[in-house]
Amino acid sequence: MNWYAVYTKPRNEKKVAMMLEREGIEHYLPLISRVKVWSDRKKVVDEPLFSSYIFVHITEREHLPVLQTPGVVRFVMFEHRKVRVRDIQIEAIRRYCDTGEELFLDETDYTVGKKVKVISGGLKGLEGRLVQILGKQRVKVEIDAIRHSIFVKIPMGSLEITGDAERDKEGNLW
C-alpha cells in the first residue's frame, strides 16, 4: 500500500473523505481550524490544509474505486504516473495539523528555490522547496509530492537545505 495525492473538485474535500470512508478506503484529509468572521458572528471552522487535495493509502486495485468516487477529479501525476507520497511526509503533515505548533525562521541563511527538509518540530520529515521569504518570521514552502504551497513558520535550526535551486527553461529560479 502506498499514499497518493488525489485532486478533488473545489470545496469537495470533506465530501470525498466521507465517500471514501463509506467505501472503506483509507484516506487522510489534513484539516486546520480557522476563525471565520461574518457580520453577525464568529465561528471556528475546520478547513483543508491543502485546497482540493486529499491523500489516499491504497493498493493498485483500489485505484479505480478512488477515481469513481464523486468529487474526485484525478490522481496527482508526474510523467503520466501517480505520484507516491512518502509515509514520513504524511506523518509530518499529521503532526503539524495535530499540534498546530508555531515555528520561526531567520531568513538570512536561506535562498529562494533551494530544496529544504524540516529536521525537527511538528513538520519533521517534510521536504519541499523554499518558494518565498515573507518577512523575518515566515517562509512559503512548496511540498514536492503535490506541488502545492503552504505557509509555515520554521525555526532556523529546524530547516535544512538539501539541494540547490533549480532553474526553469527561461533560466529563472523556482
Between 117 and 151, name the one with better pLDDT. Answer: 117
CA distances from 105 to 86, 115, 123, 149, 150 (A): 25, 15, 14, 17, 15
Whether 78 is covered by a domain: the verdict is yes
Highest mean pLDDT among 13-27, 34-48, 159-173: 13-27
Whether 34 is covered by a domain: the verdict is yes
Closest CA to 114 of 64, 67, 159: 159
Mean pLDDT of 31-36: 81
Mind listing the pLDDT tens digit for each residue in 87-133?
A: 888 888 888 787 765 433 343 346 777 888 877 777 778 787 777 66
Which of 27-31, 80-84, 125-129 shows the lowest mean pLDDT across its residues? 125-129
| Residues 78 and 119 placed together within one structural domain of the fold | no
Domain span including residue 112:
107-163
What CATH number does the domain containing 140 carry? 2.30.30.30
| Residues 72 and 117 placed together within one structural domain of the fold | no
